[in-house]
Amino acid sequence: MNIEHLVFSDAPERVGPFSHAVRARDFLFVTGQMPTLKDDPARLVDGGIEAQTRQVMENLADVLAAAGTGFDRVTFARVYLVNFQDFDRMNAVYSSYFEPGKLPARTCIGVTGLAVGASVEIDLVAAV
């Protein structure tokens, strides 16, 4: 099976040693994105859970676009959330990036901490 490890110059700067995405057969596995500024992986976006979720989704959009796909091709999402009291506010922002009635399958996992002090991280699997 052909596996492509993808690193994009026009995607958010990476916070660690990983590919932005890996393409294997008909699927694209997108590394979890943080609510960091596109050009500064050590700096969180200002604001609460809504702003952080929006930045994560924008960072994911950049990776998807660089890989030649978009949110309409996402089949699965995994959300890591530090505070489950943020669940509804995160969901409101998250769901706005998908066409109504066409949400991907998803798991939401409560965690005790995330890189760079983030409140949310999201990774995706998309069909290509």
- pLDDT given for residue 85 in this prediction: 97
pLDDT level of residue 37 (50, 70, 90 thresholds): very high
Q: What is the dihedral of CA 74, 80, 86, 88, to 10 degrees?
A: 30
Which residues are CB-neighbours of 83 under 8 A, at least 6 positions away? Answer: 49, 119
Q: Which domain holds residue 16?
A: 3-127
pTM above threshold 0.85: yes
Residue 87's pLDDT is 98
How many residues in total does the chain contain? 128
What would the pLDDT profile of 97-122 be if each residue is shown by its tens digit?
Answer: 999 999 999 999 999 999 999 999 99
Overall domain count for the chain: 1
Q: What is the pLDDT of residues 60-82, one digit of tens each?
A: 999 999 999 999 999 999 999 99
Supply the pLDDT for residue 16. Answer: 85
The mean predicted confidence, pLDDT, of the chain is 96
The CATH number that applies at residue 23 is 3.30.1330.40
pLDDT band at 1 (very low <50, low <70, confident <90, very high): confident
In the chain the beta strands, taken as DSSP E runs, fall at: 3-6, 21-24, 27-33, 36-37, 40-44, 74-81, 105-110, 120-127
C-alpha to C-alpha distance for 38 and 34, rounded to whole angstroms: 10
